[in-house]
Structure 1
């Protein structure tokens, strides 16, 4: 294992944002004078412990070239895949020439523009001597209901919230181990919703690092106004 592992960032951004709707992918929507994805990248590009960023984009992407980071030397573009996990895997392959298997890779949602430097520092500090990896998360304070079916018509039961956390990003894991976890899930036909769930399929237990509630992901139109409020405060 390398004595001083480097920290790299991967942003999967090949999705079309179907839940959001509209002709422009949500990561390219305007937000306080910049695009959402520019806010998402800025905290990493400006951080002294981040060695570089890889962004996985759709081959048909026509918006990236007009962003502030399109020609930035610390940001590399690669082709994304059909699923989020495919885009992450493509970015990891692109990193292989510069990064070691023991380097940390921080995977962050391209449409999560409110990450603070303080939260990023907290996550990086947690990685020191951490054997598995870590992710930013927030404990659940609401009462959580499980629905009896996919349409959520009626409550089946109430879930105990004491052990429930909202999984946020960045999520940080060793490059080699994350690559192995994604390949394992792909071979087994296991659908994953975040990178931590892929690591969990290897029988490992990532560390939960409590972060700020305002580190929201842009999913619906009203989230843009909320993100603007958080960035202004």
Structure 2
């Protein structure tokens, strides 16, 4: 075991979903169960920290045999501020690999967790999973196309995103206005001049955002169960 830690952000209100998406039931279990289970089963992970409704998360972990859960923090007003709150839970040394993961990406696999951890252990300042962009992407303004981007160089970023804790502590010490502009953790590291390595993501590692995503998530999990892959 390499002793990495995972920080699960599970404090969203699910505005577009109409309810907190991390607790929506999929195949009879809360979505967050599958997220926690993936990190529980990843041998690279020693401890899991979570940001969200602490009592509910602890109850879920206890009922599900998630014994790596080491602490919970309350959410902030934005994703980045929630991540900052969660980092305060981490007492590990600066050299420890820390992954930050969106709790609503409940289809993450232990294999993907291992890939991002190993990339940082092998010398990267940061590592994020990405998948190629398959759609043609247009830059638009006032209802018209300004230009079409070359999709061969475009990648869609996913989580978990992994960094040394010392790097995260440095970039999350930035002013709140800087943190609130960040769309993911890697952008803060990039802004500070750090190099972020790309590792292969997984098409199935979708983020629950709209009700339609639940249909796809259920189908993926059902297929995994049929094939014998434990969710």
**Selected match of 1:147 from 131, 140, 148:** 140
Kept after mapping to 1: 8 A contact 2:97/2:117: no
TM-score (norm 1): 0.87
Question: Is 2:92 the counterpart of 1:102?
Answer: no
Q: CA deviation at 1:137?
A: 0.8
Kept after mapping to 1: 8 A contact 2:95/2:165: yes
Q: CA deviation at 1:118?
A: 2.2
Kept after mapping to 2: 8 A contact 1:108/1:170: yes
Distance 2:136 2:76 in 1: 36
Question: Is 2:162 the counterpart of 1:172?
Answer: yes
Instruction: List alignment gaps of at least 5 residues for structure 2.
Output: 224-231
Question: Is 2:87 the counterpart of 1:92?
Answer: yes
Q: How many residues align?
A: 221
**Selected match of 1:119 from 103, 109, 112:** 112
Q: Deviations over 1:29-51 (max 9, x none)?
A: 00112110110110111222211
Aligned-residue CA RMSD in angstroms?
2.1
Partner residue of 1:36? 31
Question: Is 2:12 the counterpart of 1:15?
Answer: yes
TM-score (norm 2): 0.88
Q: CA deviation at 1:114?
A: 0.8
Helix, strand or coil at the partner of 1:127: helix
Question: Is 2:200 the counterpart of 1:210?
Answer: yes
Helix, strand or coil at the partner of 1:44: helix
Question: Is 2:48 the counterpart of 1:53?
Answer: yes
**Selected match of 2:123 from 121, 130, 134:** 130
Kept after mapping to 2: 8 A contact 1:139/1:210: no
Question: Is 2:220 the counterpart of 1:227?
Answer: no
Distance 1:6 1:164 in 2: 32
Distance 2:155 2:111 in 1: 20
Whose helix proportion is higher, 1 or 2? 2
**Selected match of 2:153 from 133, 154, 163:** 163
Q: CA deviation at 1:199?
A: 0.6
